[in-house]
């Protein structure tokens, strides 16, 4: 088969082209013809089709995501913002941190192990390409009904894939989420977050500058796997009866990625690199066009020099291949030898595939013939932009009107106790230890907090103790009830989780998982969620530094719950003063910060006990949220808090149970007066935390809260000497004032209920 050259395209302007099969719309194809002044060659068509896919071009989301750029809070810490591979923030002492979350949802349904593994691989390369050393990963996950047999296939594969790749790379897994909801049955969510650290001077950008500089492709060889993979995959919906199309999935090689990390950091630190870009979705098409588009000149590529795993690949396939573990660097000619020597040391293959010129064009040559000649911006940055119609669907009225008020609630002490035991074992609230024990959290020796703590915390500088904390959160049921508020609540929870650990929230990343943007109802959810998040970030002073959009998460025409996963990064000047979640010793006092209202719509209780979803999500007062965070950080800074844990899924009952199980020591707590005990225990009102203080700082702490006009209530005391009324277990959580009675829960009993669920389902 002969190659379609630029000269052929000029000579045969009317040759039919399979643009629709490649996912391009008629008008998109026409605009490519207009840009080029001729029909594209087949290689050009391949490039445009992958780069203009939803996944790479953000064509449906762009108009809304602009809000993150227009509503930027005053915040001096942002060094690199949206648009680069990942945002970078200043954390002081010359240190910078980059973090980003990305989705790998569709591939993970088709091939759970490899889909999830390559999800980790992809996000890690984004972080390296900024010049940072990756230091931790997190994995927010969503699965379907835990009792559905397919969930077992999906979950066990995804979890082993994340562990298999991350453990082998040597990155501690410091947190994540595991949520079950049948809306994810045919469409699990695998979001992967990576954090990297670097000195300011090490920040690198994806930019091809410097006339005559070489473009070097290094890492794994290019193969035929994943052709059209991520981008086409991520843009297509699965049929209701399962994955009818089974496009080829990429296989990850974490060992190669580990070599790539070490090799890349070594060439960067040796000053051998002018610009750098990872290869993810859209492979060489993406890397070359983005590098060229961000630079000021042009680029020429000799495509036949690319090292191949399969010699039969056509140039179109090479351009589109999404083979993993590859990177692209722009290097001055005088430094090529030194660059190659570092690659050799790490056993990484590298080859010069192109150079930077001043043509203003991206040209690609194949055995002496020109097969691509395009303006790089038109491929990389000036793709189509859609103003897709959006409208609040009518069913929102019904949904919001059918609140949880009429659901049967426990109304006496015995029922409360039984509800407590049931709730402790629901798949969403149960211990995630069975999963997280498959992840290495110790490697690198800088993990200060990891699961099941509220946020993961990493020591950045061993000398000074400077560190960062990260949390990811999203209650998608809230977003389903009100996407604007739901996104804000997700952000608030993540923000709070960072503050609870003693760190100052600094910056935000997000992974916006939604259904089809072609559905106006989904588009409305998306628009609302983005607006909600942008407004909240503006008010709280934490900029969005990057993120990812994943559309088409639906089975047939049923979309997943809108799931805007929000990651917040915070900084802590000395990790020694981190606040752990569990109380320590007898006599410590337990306080509740915040106000509990009858807010059970979208709660875990409504979901788990009644399979109910309706009403309005909890209200949110962002000023109060900020106030709470300041109290939590000040409490840590002044050494007043021995523990703190936020209140979210499962309410105060779950928070207390988690603290007790983590600590192993009993406590006596009393339900607040003036509120229904059931509501107090299981409502999911926002902006609350349970904190533990020592008697000697009690006055001081309470005074601080009162001065800040933040509601604080003493609710209990840590006590290892309590005795269960039912005998048995040695350490107990005793709850007074439950409809006039006292209940007690053995901590061992709670623990065994909590720890039994996941192994029973998936072990």
Ligand X SMILES: Nc1ncnc2c1ncn2[C@@H]1O[C@H](COP(=O)(O)OP(=O)(O)O)[C@@H](O)[C@H]1O
- The stretch near ligand X (CB under 6 A) out of 46-54, 147-155, 513-521, 643-651 is 643-651
Q: Does 114 interact with other proteins (rule: CB under 8 A)?
A: yes
- Binding positions for other proteins, 221-250, rule CB under 8 A: 223-225, 246, 248-250
CB under 8 Å to 506, separation ≥6 — which residues?
Answer: 75, 77, 89, 91, 542, 568, 569, 570, 571
CB of 155 to ligand X, least distance (A): 10
Residues 579 to 638 in contact with other proteins, rule: CB under 8 A: none
Residue 141 binds which entry of Mg ion, other proteins, ligand X, none, CB below 5-8 Å type-dependent? ligand X
Q: Which stretch binds ligand X (CB under 6 A): 6-14, 347-355, 448-456, 590-598?
A: 448-456
Number of Cβ within a 10 Å radius of residue 242:
12
What token pair was written down for 530? 């983005």
CB atoms within 10 A of CB 728: 12
Q: Is 598 helix (H, G, I), strand (E, B) or coil?
A: coil
Among 38, 258, 381, 597, binds other proteins (CB under 8 A): 258
CA-CA-CA-CA torsion for 686, 692, 693, 698, nearest 10 degrees?
Answer: 50
Report if residue 631 touches ligand X, rule: CB under 6 A: no
Site track 744-763 with other proteins (rule: CB under 8 A), x = hit:
--------------------
Q: Is 316 in the site for other proteins (CB under 8 A)?
A: no
From the list 77, 129, 446, 724, which residue makes contact with other proteins (rule: CB under 8 A)? Answer: 446
Residue number, 101 or 171, with CB nearest to other proteins: 171
Q: Which two tokens stand for residue 446?
A: 């800088």
**Per CB under 6 A, 213 contacts ligand X:** no
Determine, following the binding rule CB under 6 A, whether residue 453 of this chain makes contact with ligand X. yes
Q: Is residue 378 a contact residue for Mg ion (CB under 5 A)? A: no
If the CB atoms of residues 115 and 295 are measured against ligand X, the closer one turns out to be 115
Residues in binding contact with Mg ion, number by CB under 5 A: 3
Binding mask 121-160 for other proteins (x = CB under 8 A): ---------------------------------------x
The residue among 185 and 455 lying less far from Mg ion, judged by its C-beta, is 455
**381 is written with which tokens?**
């940055």
Identify the burial level of 756 via C-beta atoms within 10 angstroms of its C-beta, where 0-12 means exposed, 13-18 middle and 19 or more buried. middle
- In this complex, which beta carbon is closest to ligand X, that of residue 365 or of residue 493? 493
- Estimate the crossing angle of helix 622-637 against helix 695-707, to 10 degrees: 150
CA distances (Å), 289 to each of 379, 383, 566, 689, in order? 6, 12, 30, 48
If the CB atoms of residues 466 and 512 are measured against other proteins, the closer one turns out to be: 466
CA distances from 421 to 306, 417, 583, 654, 734 (A): 60, 6, 21, 10, 14
451 interacts with, out of ligand X, Mg ion, other proteins, none, CB within 5 to 8 A per kind: ligand X
Shortest Å distance, C-beta 32 to Mg ion: 48
- x/- mask, Mg ion, residues 442-461, rule CB under 5 A, reads ------------x-------
Q: Are 215 and 288 in contact (CB under 8 A)?
A: yes
The answer to whether 290 contacts ligand X (rule: CB under 6 A) is no
Residue 645 bears catalytic tag: no
Judged by phi (left if over 0) then psi (alpha if -120 to 50, else beta), residue 171 lies in beta
Kindly tell me which of 290 and 646 has the beta carbon lying closer to Mg ion.
646
Q: Is residue 61 close enough to count as binding other proteins by CB under 8 A?
A: no
HSE on the CB side for 759, CA within 13 Å? 11
Going by DSSP bridges, is the β-strand pair 298-302/350-357 parallel, antiparallel, or unpaired?
antiparallel
CA dihedral 634, 637, 641, 645 (to 10 degrees): 70
Name which of other proteins, Mg ion, ligand X, none residue 4 binds, using a CB cut-off of 5 to 8 Å depending on partner kind: none
Q: Which of 79, 113, 349 is nearest to 204 (CA)?
A: 79
Restricted to residues 162-181, the positions that interact with ligand X (CB under 6 A) are 173, 175-178
Does 572 help bind other proteins (rule: CB under 8 A)? no
204 is catalytic: no
Nearer to Mg ion, 101 or 429 (CB): 429
Distances (CA, A) of 710 to 223, 449, 626, 687, 688: 59, 27, 11, 10, 10
For residue 318, state whether it binds other proteins (rule: CB under 8 A). Answer: no
CB under 8 A, 24+ apart: contacts of 49-52 = 49/19, 49/22, 49/23, 49/24, 50/228, 50/231, 50/232, 50/281, 50/282, 50/283, 50/285, 50/286, 50/320, 51/282, 51/285, 51/286, 51/289, 51/379, 51/380, 51/383, 52/24, 52/28, 52/383, 52/384
Contact stretch for other proteins (CB under 8 A) within 167-175, 192-200, 333-341, 557-565: 167-175
Q: For the CB of residue 173, give the shortest distance to ligand X in the complex, in Å.
A: 5
Residue 275 corresponds to which tokens in the numbers above? 């610009």
Q: Is the dihedral of CA 152, 155, 159, 164 positive or negative?
A: positive
- Scanning 1-9, 28-36, 446-454, 495-503 for contacts with other proteins by CB under 8 A, the matching segment is 446-454
Of 77-85, 210-218, 445-453, 619-627, the segment contacting ligand X by CB under 6 A is 445-453
Nearest-approach distance from CB 26 to Mg ion, in angstroms:
49
Footprint on residues 371-410 left by other proteins (CB under 8 A): none
Task: Please tell me the number of Cα atoms within 13 Å of 232 on its side-chain side.
Answer: 24
Sheet holding 350-357, edge to edge: 275-278, 326-331, 214-219, 350-357, 298-302, 362-366, 369-374
Q: CB–CB of 187/104 below 8 Å?
A: no
Is there a contact between 669 and 734 (Cβ–Cβ < 8 Å)?
yes
266 binds other proteins (CB under 8 A): no
* Residue in 104, 106, 300, 607 annotated catalytic: 104
Strand 326-331 vs strand 275-278: parallel, antiparallel, or unpaired? antiparallel
Nearer to other proteins, 32 or 468 (CB): 468
As measured in angstroms, the least distance from the Cβ of 755 to other proteins is 12
DSSP 515-565: S-TTSHHHHHHHHHHHHHHHHHHHHHT--EEEEEEE---EETTEEPPPEEE
Closest distance of CB 364 from ligand X, Å = 41
Beta carbon nearer to ligand X, 450 or 624: 450
Between residues 55 and 459, which has the closer beta carbon with respect to other proteins? Answer: 459
254 vs 427, beta carbon nearer other proteins: 254
Per CB under 6 A, contacts with ligand X among 66-95 are none
Does residue 253 bind ligand X (CB under 6 A)?
no
E strand or H helix that includes residue 749: helix 747-762
Which of 482/649 has CB closer to ligand X? 649
Q: Which of 350, 356, 435, 479 binds ligand X (CB under 6 A)?
A: 435
Phi, psi of 489 (to 5 degrees): -65, -35
- Given ligand X, Mg ion, other proteins, none, residue 625, with its beta carbon under 5 to 8 Å by kind, binds none
**685, two tokens:** 């009102």
Name, in order, each residue with C-beta under 8 angstroms of 403's C-beta and a sequence gap of 6 or more: 601, 614, 615, 616
Cβ pair 519, 559 in contact under 8 A: yes
DSSP 54-111: HHHH-TTTHHHHHHHHHSPPP-TTEEE-BTBSSEEEEEETTEEEEEEEEE-HHHHHHS
Separation between Cα atoms, residue 598 and residue 594, nearest integer Å = 13
List 451, 510, 525, 754, residue binding ligand X (CB under 6 A):
451
Q: Does 755 bind ligand X (CB under 6 A)?
A: no
Q: Which is nearer to Mg ion, 237 or 497 (CB)?
A: 497
Least Cβ distance, residue 504 to other proteins (angstroms): 19
Please report, as ranges, the residues that interact with ligand X according to CB under 6 A.
139, 141, 173, 175-178, 432, 435-436, 451-454, 473, 497, 646, 648-649
Please report, as ranges, the residues that interact with Mg ion according to CB under 5 A.
454, 497, 646
User: Which positions are annotated as active-site residues?
Assistant: 55, 104
Please report, as ranges, the residues that interact with other proteins according to CB under 8 A.
110-111, 114, 160, 163-164, 167-170, 220, 223-225, 246, 248-256, 258-259, 309-310, 323-324, 346-347, 436-448, 459, 462, 575-576
């Amino acid at each position: 088969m002969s190659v379609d050259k630029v000269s052929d395209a000029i000579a045969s302007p009317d040759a039919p082209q399979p643009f629709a099969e490649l996912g391009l719309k008629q008008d998109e194809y026409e605009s490519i013809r207009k840009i080029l002044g001729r029909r594209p060659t087949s290689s050009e068509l391949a490039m445009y089709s992958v780069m203009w896919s939803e996944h790479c071009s953000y064509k449906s989301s762009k108009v809304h995501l602009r809000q993150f750029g227009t509503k930027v809070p005053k915040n001096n810490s942002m060094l690199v913002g949206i648009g680069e591979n990942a945002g970078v923030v200043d954390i002081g002492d010359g240190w910078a941190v980059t973090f980003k979350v990305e989705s790998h949802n569709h591939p993970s349904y088709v091939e759970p192990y490899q889909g999830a593994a390559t999800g980790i691989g992809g996000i890690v390369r984004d972080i390296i390409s900024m010049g940072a050393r990756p230091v931790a990963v997190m994995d927010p996950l969503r699965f379907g009904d835990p009792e559905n047999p397919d969930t077992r296939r999906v979950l066990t594969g995804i979890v082993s894939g994340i562990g298999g790749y991350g453990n082998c790379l040597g990155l501690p897994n410091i947190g994540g989420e595991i949520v079950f909801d049948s809306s994810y049955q045919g469409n699990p969510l695998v979001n992967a977050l990576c954090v990297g650290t670097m000195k300011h001077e090490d920040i690198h950008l994806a930019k091809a500058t410097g006339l005559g500089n070489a473009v070097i492709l290094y890492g794994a060889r290019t193969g035929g796997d994943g052709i059209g993979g991520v981008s086409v995959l991520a843009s297509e919906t699965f049929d209701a009866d399962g994955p009818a199309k089974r496009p080829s999935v990429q296989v990850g090689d974490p060992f190669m990625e580990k070599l790539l990390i070490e090799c890349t950091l070594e060439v960067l630190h040796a000053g051998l690199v002018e610009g750098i870009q990872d290869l993810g979705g859209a492979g060489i098409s993406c890397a070359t066009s983005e590098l060229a588009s961000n630079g000021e000149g042009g680029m020429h590529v000799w495509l036949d020099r690319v090292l191949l795993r399969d010699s039969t690949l056509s140039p179109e396939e090479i351009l589109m291949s999404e083979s993993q573990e590859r990177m692209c660097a722009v290097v001055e000619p005088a430094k090529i030898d030194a660059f190659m020597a570092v690659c050799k040391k790490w056993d990484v293959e590298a080859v010069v595939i192109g150079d930077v010129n001043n043509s203003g064009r991206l040209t690609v040559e194949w055995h002496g013939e020109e097969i691509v000649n395009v303006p790089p911006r038109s491929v990389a940055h000036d793709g189509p932009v859609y103003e897709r119609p959006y409208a609040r669907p009518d069913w929102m009225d019904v949904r919001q009107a059918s609140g949880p008020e009429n659901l049967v609630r426990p109304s006496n002490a015995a029922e409360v106790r039984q509800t407590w035991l049931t709730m402790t074992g629901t798949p969403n609230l149960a211990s995630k230890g069975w999963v997280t024990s498959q992840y290495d959290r110790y490697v690198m020796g800088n993990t200060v907090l990891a699961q099941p703590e509220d946020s993961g915390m990493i020591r950045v500088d061993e000398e000074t103790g400077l560190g960062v904390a990260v949390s990811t959160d999203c209650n998608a049921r809230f977003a389903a009830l009100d996407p604007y508020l739901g996104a804000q609540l997700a952000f608030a929870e993540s923000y709070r989780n960072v503050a609870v650990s003693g760190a100052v929230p600094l910056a935000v990343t997000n992974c916006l998982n939604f259904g089809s943007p072609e559905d106006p109802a989904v588009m409305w959810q998306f628009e609302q969620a983005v607006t909600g998040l942008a407004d909240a970030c503006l008010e709280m002073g934490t900029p969005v530094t990057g993120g990812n959009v994943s559309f088409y998460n639906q089975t047939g025409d049923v979309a997943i719950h809108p799931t805007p996963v929000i990651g917040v990064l915070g900084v802590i000047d000395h990790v020694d003063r981190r606040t752990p979640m569990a109380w320590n010793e007898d006599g410590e006092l337990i306080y509740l910060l915040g106000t509990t209202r009858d807010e059970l719509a979208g709660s875990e209780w409504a979901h788990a006990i009644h399979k109910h979803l309706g009403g309005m999500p909890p209200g949110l007062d962002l000023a109060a949220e900020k106030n709470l965070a300041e109290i939590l950080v000040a409490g840590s800074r002044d050494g007043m808090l021995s523990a703190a844990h936020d209140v979210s899924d499962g309410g105060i009952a779950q928070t207390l149970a988690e603290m007790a199980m983590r600590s192993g020591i009993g406590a006596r707590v009393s339900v607040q007066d003036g509120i229904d005990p059931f509501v107090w225990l299981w409502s999911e009102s926002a902006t609350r935390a349970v904190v533990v203080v020592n008697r000697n700082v009690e006055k001081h702490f309470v005074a601080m809260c009162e001065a800040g006009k933040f509601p604080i209530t003493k609710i209990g005391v840590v006590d290892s000497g309590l005795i269960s009324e039912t005998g048995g277990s040695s350490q107990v959580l005793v709850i007074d004032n439950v409809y006039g009675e006292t209940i007690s829960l053995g901590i061992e009993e709670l623990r065994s209920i909590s720890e039994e669920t996941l192994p029973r389902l998936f072990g």
